[in-house]
Protein backbone atom coordinates (compact mmCIF):
# COMPACT_ATOMS: atom_id res chain seq x y z
CA UNK A 1 0.00 0.00 0.00
CA UNK A 2 2.88 2.33 -0.70
CA UNK A 3 1.66 3.38 -4.11
CA UNK A 4 -0.02 6.74 -4.38
CA UNK A 5 -3.30 5.06 -5.28
CA UNK A 6 -4.56 3.02 -2.36
CA UNK A 7 -8.33 3.27 -2.80
CA UNK A 8 -10.17 0.12 -3.81
CA UNK A 9 -12.12 1.88 -6.53
CA UNK A 10 -10.54 3.78 -9.42
CA UNK A 11 -12.22 6.21 -11.82
CA UNK A 12 -12.04 6.37 -15.60
CA UNK A 13 -13.06 9.67 -17.16
CA UNK A 14 -14.16 9.31 -20.79
CA UNK A 15 -14.60 12.56 -22.70
CA UNK A 16 -14.70 13.69 -26.31
CA UNK A 17 -11.90 16.07 -25.37
CA UNK A 18 -8.48 15.00 -24.11
CA UNK A 19 -8.13 18.31 -22.27
CA UNK A 20 -11.53 17.92 -20.63
CA UNK A 21 -10.70 14.41 -19.39
CA UNK A 22 -7.31 15.52 -18.07
CA UNK A 23 -8.81 18.65 -16.53
CA UNK A 24 -11.47 16.65 -14.68
CA UNK A 25 -8.78 14.27 -13.45
CA UNK A 26 -6.71 17.21 -12.22
CA UNK A 27 -9.66 18.70 -10.40
CA UNK A 28 -10.79 15.45 -8.76
CA UNK A 29 -7.21 14.44 -7.91
CA UNK A 30 -6.74 17.61 -5.90
CA UNK A 31 -9.54 16.45 -3.59
CA UNK A 32 -8.75 12.75 -3.64
CA UNK A 33 -5.00 12.10 -3.98
CA UNK A 34 -5.25 8.43 -3.02
CA UNK A 35 -7.55 7.48 -5.88
CA UNK A 36 -6.35 6.25 -9.25
CA UNK A 37 -7.95 8.54 -11.85
CA UNK A 38 -7.46 7.60 -15.49
CA UNK A 39 -8.34 10.04 -18.30
CA UNK A 40 -9.52 8.65 -21.66
CA UNK A 41 -10.27 11.69 -23.76
CA UNK A 42 -10.27 12.47 -27.46
CA UNK A 43 -10.14 10.19 -30.48
CA UNK A 44 -6.56 9.11 -29.87
CA UNK A 45 -5.18 11.11 -32.79
CA UNK A 46 -5.40 14.59 -31.29
CA UNK A 47 -8.99 15.22 -32.38
CA UNK A 48 -12.32 15.40 -30.61
CA UNK A 49 -14.15 12.10 -30.22
CA UNK A 50 -13.83 8.87 -28.30
CA UNK A 51 -11.52 5.94 -28.92
CA UNK A 52 -12.35 2.31 -28.24
CA UNK A 53 -8.67 1.49 -27.72
CA UNK A 54 -8.06 4.38 -25.32
CA UNK A 55 -11.07 3.46 -23.19
CA UNK A 56 -9.99 -0.19 -23.24
CA UNK A 57 -6.46 0.71 -22.06
CA UNK A 58 -7.82 3.04 -19.37
CA UNK A 59 -10.12 0.32 -18.03
CA UNK A 60 -7.30 -2.24 -17.99
CA UNK A 61 -5.16 0.16 -15.98
CA UNK A 62 -7.98 1.14 -13.62
CA UNK A 63 -8.99 -2.45 -12.86
CA UNK A 64 -5.46 -3.80 -12.40
CA UNK A 65 -4.46 -5.23 -9.00
CA UNK A 66 -8.05 -6.26 -8.29
CA UNK A 67 -9.47 -2.74 -8.22
CA UNK A 68 -13.03 -1.91 -9.23
CA UNK A 69 -13.75 1.11 -11.41
CA UNK A 70 -16.48 3.65 -11.97
CA UNK A 71 -16.59 5.22 -15.42
CA UNK A 72 -17.86 8.76 -15.99
CA UNK A 73 -18.67 9.92 -19.50
CA UNK A 74 -19.61 13.13 -21.23
CA UNK A 75 -21.66 13.02 -24.45
CA UNK A 76 -23.39 10.15 -26.30
CA UNK A 77 -20.55 8.37 -28.05
CA UNK A 78 -18.49 8.28 -24.84
CA UNK A 79 -21.27 6.15 -23.34
CA UNK A 80 -21.61 3.96 -26.45
CA UNK A 81 -17.86 3.43 -26.72
CA UNK A 82 -17.57 2.50 -23.05
CA UNK A 83 -20.50 0.07 -23.34
CA UNK A 84 -18.86 -1.49 -26.40
CA UNK A 85 -15.57 -1.96 -24.55
CA UNK A 86 -17.40 -3.57 -21.60
CA UNK A 87 -19.35 -5.82 -23.99
CA UNK A 88 -16.15 -7.21 -25.44
CA UNK A 89 -14.10 -7.21 -22.23
CA UNK A 90 -13.36 -10.24 -20.08
CA UNK A 91 -16.61 -10.74 -18.09
CA UNK A 92 -14.63 -10.92 -14.83
CA UNK A 93 -13.22 -7.44 -15.53
CA UNK A 94 -16.52 -6.04 -16.76
CA UNK A 95 -18.20 -7.24 -13.54
CA UNK A 96 -15.95 -4.90 -11.56
CA UNK A 97 -16.86 -1.83 -13.64
CA UNK A 98 -19.89 0.47 -13.38
CA UNK A 99 -20.88 3.16 -15.85
CA UNK A 100 -22.24 6.11 -13.89
CA UNK A 101 -25.29 8.10 -15.00
CA UNK A 102 -23.83 11.31 -13.66
CA UNK A 103 -22.64 14.79 -14.59
CA UNK A 104 -19.01 14.56 -15.71
CA UNK A 105 -17.24 17.01 -13.44
CA UNK A 106 -19.48 16.99 -10.38
CA UNK A 107 -19.79 13.20 -10.59
CA UNK A 108 -16.03 12.75 -10.86
CA UNK A 109 -15.36 14.95 -7.86
CA UNK A 110 -18.05 13.34 -5.71
CA UNK A 111 -17.01 9.81 -6.70
CA UNK A 112 -13.32 10.51 -6.15
CA UNK A 113 -13.88 11.96 -2.70
CA UNK A 114 -16.01 8.94 -1.74
CA UNK A 115 -13.47 6.48 -3.16
CA UNK A 116 -10.70 8.29 -1.29
CA UNK A 117 -12.49 7.41 1.94
CA UNK A 118 -12.16 3.71 1.09
CA UNK A 119 -15.73 3.16 -0.01
CA UNK A 120 -16.76 0.19 -2.15
CA UNK A 121 -17.92 0.17 -5.77
CA UNK A 122 -21.63 0.68 -5.06
CA UNK A 123 -20.98 3.60 -2.71
CA UNK A 124 -18.67 5.33 -5.20
CA UNK A 125 -21.22 4.84 -7.97
CA UNK A 126 -23.98 6.22 -5.76
CA UNK A 127 -21.85 9.27 -4.93
CA UNK A 128 -21.33 9.97 -8.64
CA UNK A 129 -24.98 9.56 -9.49
CA UNK A 130 -26.20 11.63 -6.57
CA UNK A 131 -24.01 14.51 -7.79
CA UNK A 132 -26.65 15.23 -10.42
CA UNK A 133 -28.82 16.76 -7.74
CA UNK A 134 -26.22 19.54 -7.41
CA UNK A 135 -27.95 21.14 -10.35
CA UNK A 136 -31.47 21.18 -9.01
CA UNK A 137 -31.57 21.08 -5.23
CA UNK A 138 -35.36 20.94 -5.23
CA UNK A 139 -36.90 20.51 -1.86
CA UNK A 140 -33.72 21.54 -0.05
CA UNK A 141 -33.97 24.66 2.05
CA UNK A 142 -31.88 27.59 0.92
CA UNK A 143 -32.15 26.84 -2.79
CA UNK A 144 -32.25 29.62 -5.38
CA UNK A 145 -36.00 29.13 -5.47
CA UNK A 146 -36.11 30.09 -1.83
CA UNK A 147 -34.16 33.27 -2.53
CA UNK A 148 -37.42 35.14 -2.96
CA UNK A 149 -37.25 38.16 -0.64
CA UNK A 150 -38.95 37.09 2.55
CA UNK A 151 -41.93 39.00 3.80
CA UNK A 152 -42.93 40.16 0.36
CA UNK A 153 -46.45 39.18 -0.51
CA UNK A 154 -46.70 36.66 -3.34
CA UNK A 155 -47.67 38.50 -6.46
CA UNK A 156 -49.39 35.60 -8.02
CA UNK A 157 -49.78 31.95 -8.70
CA UNK A 158 -51.15 30.09 -11.68
CA UNK A 159 -51.55 26.46 -12.73
CA UNK A 160 -51.08 25.96 -16.42
CA UNK A 161 -50.91 22.86 -18.64
CA UNK A 162 -47.77 22.19 -20.66
CA UNK A 163 -48.82 21.72 -24.28
CA UNK A 164 -45.50 20.74 -25.85
CA UNK A 165 -45.59 17.01 -26.67
CA UNK A 166 -41.92 16.62 -25.77
CA UNK A 167 -42.41 18.41 -22.49
CA UNK A 168 -40.19 21.07 -21.02
CA UNK A 169 -37.04 20.09 -22.94
CA UNK A 170 -33.93 22.16 -23.59
CA UNK A 171 -35.34 24.71 -26.01
CA UNK A 172 -38.51 25.78 -24.15
CA UNK A 173 -36.62 25.63 -20.85
CA UNK A 174 -34.05 28.04 -22.25
CA UNK A 175 -36.78 30.31 -23.61
CA UNK A 176 -38.47 30.35 -20.20
CA UNK A 177 -35.26 30.98 -18.26
CA UNK A 178 -34.20 33.85 -20.49
CA UNK A 179 -37.68 35.38 -20.25
CA UNK A 180 -37.73 35.19 -16.45
CA UNK A 181 -34.26 36.73 -16.23
CA UNK A 182 -35.66 39.80 -18.00
CA UNK A 183 -38.02 40.66 -15.15
CA UNK A 184 -37.31 42.11 -11.74
CA UNK A 185 -39.10 39.16 -10.18
CA UNK A 186 -38.47 35.77 -8.62
CA UNK A 187 -40.36 33.05 -10.46
CA UNK A 188 -40.64 29.37 -9.67
CA UNK A 189 -42.12 26.55 -11.74
CA UNK A 190 -43.15 23.55 -9.63
CA UNK A 191 -40.91 24.92 -6.92
CA UNK A 192 -37.69 25.33 -8.89
CA UNK A 193 -36.04 28.54 -10.01
CA UNK A 194 -37.46 29.34 -13.43
CA UNK A 195 -34.37 31.39 -14.29
CA UNK A 196 -32.29 28.18 -14.28
CA UNK A 197 -32.34 26.12 -17.49
CA UNK A 198 -30.89 23.12 -15.72
CA UNK A 199 -33.44 23.19 -12.93
CA UNK A 200 -36.30 23.50 -15.40
CA UNK A 201 -35.00 20.62 -17.50
CA UNK A 202 -34.45 18.53 -14.41
CA UNK A 203 -38.18 18.80 -13.60
CA UNK A 204 -38.67 16.37 -16.46
CA UNK A 205 -42.07 17.92 -17.07
CA UNK A 206 -43.94 15.92 -19.72
CA UNK A 207 -46.42 17.12 -22.31
CA UNK A 208 -49.90 17.53 -20.82
CA UNK A 209 -48.58 17.95 -17.29
CA UNK A 210 -49.84 20.84 -15.14
CA UNK A 211 -47.20 23.28 -13.93
CA UNK A 212 -47.57 25.54 -10.91
CA UNK A 213 -46.03 28.96 -11.53
CA UNK A 214 -45.41 31.35 -8.63
CA UNK A 215 -44.01 34.81 -8.88
CA UNK A 216 -43.00 37.58 -6.48
CA UNK A 217 -41.17 40.86 -6.69
CA UNK A 218 -41.72 44.33 -8.20
CA UNK A 219 -42.51 42.93 -11.66
CA UNK A 220 -43.95 39.67 -10.34
CA UNK A 221 -47.37 40.15 -11.92
CA UNK A 222 -45.95 40.91 -15.38
CA UNK A 223 -43.48 38.02 -15.14
CA UNK A 224 -46.27 35.62 -14.17
CA UNK A 225 -48.43 36.76 -17.09
CA UNK A 226 -45.54 36.40 -19.53
CA UNK A 227 -44.61 32.92 -18.29
CA UNK A 228 -48.21 31.71 -18.38
CA UNK A 229 -48.65 33.11 -21.89
CA UNK A 230 -45.45 31.41 -23.08
CA UNK A 231 -46.48 28.03 -21.65
CA UNK A 232 -50.04 28.36 -22.99
CA UNK A 233 -48.56 29.30 -26.36
CA UNK A 234 -46.52 26.09 -26.42
CA UNK A 235 -43.33 28.19 -26.69
CA UNK A 236 -44.13 28.69 -30.35
CA UNK A 237 -43.65 24.96 -31.02
CA UNK A 238 -47.23 23.71 -31.09
Partner 1 sequence: MTLDVSWAIAWVRGTAQTVAEHRDELVELDRQIGDGDHGENLTRGFTAVIQRLDALEEPPAEVGDVLKLVATTLMSTVGGAAGPLYGTAYLRAAKATGAPRLDSAGVVALLEGALEGIVVRGKSTTGEKTMVDAWSPAVEAAVLAADAGLDPAGVLAAAADAAERGAEATIPMVASKGRASYLGERSAGHRDPGAESSALVLRAAAWAAAEATA
Nearer to partner 1, 8 or 171 (CB): 171
Binding flags for partner 1, 9-48, as an x/- string (CB under 8 A): ----------------------------------xx--xx
Nearest CA-CA partner of 157 in 220, 234, 207: 220
135 lies in the site for partner 1, by CB under 8 A: no
51 lies in the site for partner 1, by CB under 8 A: yes
206 lies in the site for partner 1, by CB under 8 A: no
Alpha-helical (H) ranges within 32-98 are 52-62, 76-88, 91-94
75 lies in the site for partner 1, by CB under 8 A: yes
Is 169 labeled as catalytic in the residue annotation?
Answer: no
Q: Where are the beta strands (DSSP E) in the chain?
A: 9-15, 37-41, 68-73, 97-99, 156-161, 186-189, 192-193, 210-216
Nearer to partner 1, 81 or 193 (CB): 81
Q: What values do phi and psi take at 68, rounded to 5?
A: -95, 170
194: exposed, middle or buried (C-beta count within 10 Å: 0-12, 13-18, 19+)? buried
170 lies in the site for partner 1, by CB under 8 A: yes
Query: Under DSSP, is residue 215 helix (H, G, I), strand (E, B) or coil?
Result: strand
198 lies in the site for partner 1, by CB under 8 A: no
91 lies in the site for partner 1, by CB under 8 A: no
Residue numbers annotated as active site: 16
Question: Which residues form the interface with partner 1 (CB under 8 A)?
Answer: 43-44, 47-53, 75-77, 80-81, 83-84, 87-88, 166, 169-171, 237
Amino acid sequence: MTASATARVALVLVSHSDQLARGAVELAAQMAPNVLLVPAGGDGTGGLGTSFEQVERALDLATAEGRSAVVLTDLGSAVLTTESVLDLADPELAARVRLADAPFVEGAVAAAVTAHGGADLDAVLAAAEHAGSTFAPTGDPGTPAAAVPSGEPAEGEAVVALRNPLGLHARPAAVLARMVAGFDAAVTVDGVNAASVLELMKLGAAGGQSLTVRSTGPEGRAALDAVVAAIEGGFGEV
